[in-house]
Structure 1
Amino acid sequence: MSYDQNQPDDQYRYQRQNGDHGGPRGGLHDQDPARPRRRGTLAVAVGALVPSALVGWLVWGAMDGPDEPRPPKALPSTGADAGPGDGGGPGAGTGTPDDGDAKPGPAASASGGPPPSGPAREGRLSGKVVVIDPGHNPGNFRHTVEINKLVDIGTNRKECDTTGTSTDDGYTEAAFTRDVSERLRKLLEKEGATVEFTHDGDRAFGPCIDERARIGNNARADAVVSVHADGSAKGNRGFHVILPGLVREGAADTSAIVAPSRDLGERIAKAFTRTTGTTPSNYVGGGTGLDVRRDLGGLNLSTVPKVFIECGNMRDPADAALLTNAGWRQSAARGIARGVRAHLLGQG
């Protein structure tokens, strides 16, 4: 999402410029034939003990090991062949042991339906509902008429959605947000949270900004995070978290969510810095990494705690090198997940 305080759009339109587009474990050994036979009583005793020991070893071996492998030490050179869940990247070495020790919880469908059948596992975030809003949609480029439709955001009317930005090499914001969101979902579900998406590859375009807000409201989410990347000028670097300002106009009333949203945003900003090793924006938020906005429909129409996070600037080469790296995207997802967890549990 390119940043412009004077630009009225919720997700800012990507403008094409010059053709840019957007030792294995020990086991039982064979008996030595040269070894003399023992007394019958001893043989019976040993015969009774061996099966029990074997069963115990098998059970212990099945339970051994973490739920999730530790990330590799080396940073992947490119994100082109890595999918959601890959480890590594800057900041990965700063992870705490709790990244892989939580048990997975029930997943939720993108349409808000019941989680898949099967036994649910408890975790620290069991009972908590988190809605993830991947900014933009890869199909928006093919549906400009539909996304240009104006929708009511309470304070005024704005475009349904926009295409988003991209790196100079053509890696789109929509691709980035979907990838980070998938990684974030895995981390939160592993801790027991019920996770819903505003869209999950099931729509040709959108959803519109007002519907994105309704999805979080209807889910009665404990937290909503809208994932984005910025499209500002070269030299503008770093992340920032957008918080809802106080708005009471038309259908918009953020009075109940301003305080909890700020807590959510502050915790995400802190965890994101610590986990990714990147710094807050040098062009938005006065070095705090926080920016209060009153012109975003996705925030104005929300009735549950919600924030946007601009993970970096796709138009700056240094930031783009991070955003296109799969290992860094995993670190970004981990940072957001830690912030969400801290907010939901009141920790840190």
Structure 2
Amino acid sequence: MRHRLKDVAERAGVSVKTVSNVVNGYIHVRPDTRARVLEAIAALDYRPNISARNLRRGRTGIIALAVPELDIPYFAELAKHVVSAAARHDLTVLIDQTNGDPEQERLVASGIRDHMIDGLILSPLALAGADLDASATTTPMVLLGERVTHGQADHVAIDNVAAAQDVTAHLVALGRRRIAAIGAQHTAEAATARLRLAGYSEALRAAGLARDEELIVPALAWHRADGAEAMRALLAAGARPDAVVCFNDTLALGAMRALHDAGLRVPDDVAVVGFDDIEDGRFSVPTLTTVAPDKADLARIAVDLLAARLAATDPPPREQTVPHRLIPRESTGTALSPHP
């Protein structure tokens, strides 16, 4: 039988209100009274009915995380961290996949599921700022990735320009001079690709190296197959690089496979770097040098911002930049240790 607050109150000899105060962490409860209530809770194995509590507050206790693709390891790892961060706020996470489809992202952003959720964490891929502004909803929202609107949503991201500068400068410091870039995208919405290309270009300029357009290879998607195809195209064109900056780790893993198939050695012939620090890169052969965003911190900040927005009345939008760090590994010949 599921025990109620009333049962705990009777066993502890206090009022239902006092039990509620203890359960909800109210500090102004006498220590001896708190001890009796906690003893009664333990004896009865009482567990608060979160659903009922949320209904009384007009809440579901559920938030949504909408990402483009769950089979991209970065988003899968991020989702894991969001679930953990949400649990600390007694929130359940509904995971949604948009496939980067503009209509699906528009539906999510417009609050199409607002009868099911209290708030939304959205990583848009296809929508521009005007799309999101036109989809304005009363559902509290936090945006991940690049800033695509100046509306009432909070925003969390890494500094992609600085991150791309860091990995490109790392290759320059190793003596690499023909540094390619894989993952360029030229659509209006491809903000991440544009910023990483800008950081790559700025690092070349700072090193006194000319940007060679033959070394910049587009990729409409950022999967392993796209990285392999881009690297094969680069080699077939005769534009032999001595290093390549891939705009995410899955592109880099595909590029390394294509280099292996072509009889080229990583890093001896071509050094390779990626972005995101996915787990696969720590166990590839060679292990992958990468930019590591603090995914756990990104998830924590996003959930904390959303929880604060749920508790407040229309707070101003907030911007948070999450730190990143360069992790040198075997794919540039600079592993810090023999272990991933």
- Do both proteins adopt the same fold according to a TM-score greater than 0.5, normalized to the shorter chain? no
Give the TM-score, by structure 1 length. 0.32
Higher RCO (CA-CA < 8 Å; seq separation 6+): 1
Give the TM-score, by structure 2 length. 0.32
Structure number having the greater helix percentage: 2
